[in-house]
Amino acid sequence: MSNQRIKTPCVGLCSTVYGDVVCRGCKRFHHEVINWNSYRDEEKHAVWLRLEVLLVQVMAAKLEVFDAARLRTQLEQRQIRFVPQQSPYCWAYQLIARGARAINQLDAYGLALLPEFRGWSLPQLRDAIDREFFLLSEAHYQRYIAPRFLREGVQGLSQGS
């Protein structure tokens, strides 16, 4: 496994360059993608934490991590990059995102699908997880971030008049 620390949530599929306010790849907000390199460590940590909370919510609704140590060992053996400080549910996402077509038995990785998803193929599950993660990120943006931008924009306009 690469000893390089993962420094950004970027997965190389940025859609903010096409006008999306939430990146379809990493699920960060447009302004976070643009300003990432100027963020202090605390700001970066807050973004990482929000992404982790949302992803864990999606993953825990679809599968169970019953052996985190086995999952970690498998990720390391297969040289799949993951953030060790994050939840094992985030590790499971990395495994499914990278190996959905090659994995035959999830229990060998310390994972079990919840009953309602046992008939799903892993590529199908991966795509559903990605869509739901994106929708949660988009909802978070609309609920907590967009109103602030609107409020600041309106105040800025009224002050300039």
Judge whether 88 and 68 are in contact, CB under 8 Å.
Answer: yes
104 domain-assigned: yes
Predicted confidence (pLDDT) at residue 153 exceeds the cutoff of 70: no
Task: Using pLDDT thresholds of 50, 70 and 90, give the confidence band for residue 18.
Answer: confident
Predicted confidence (pLDDT) at residue 1 exceeds the cutoff of 70: no
- Least Cα distance to 92 among 116, 130, 50, 56 occurs for 56
Judge whether 129 and 96 are in contact, CB under 8 Å.
Answer: yes
| Residue 92, amino acid | A
37 domain-assigned: yes
- Summarize pLDDT for 20-33 with one digit per residue, the tens: 899 998 999 999 99
107-124: string of b/e by CB count within 10 Å (b at 16+)? eebbbebeeeeeeeebee
Give the total number of structural domains in the chain.
1
Domain that holds residue 134: 16-160
Q: Rounded to whole angstroms, what are the CA distances from 95 to 11, 102, 140?
A: 14, 10, 25
38 domain-assigned: yes
156 domain-assigned: yes
82 domain-assigned: yes
- State residue 78 phi and psi, 5-degree precision: -90, 5
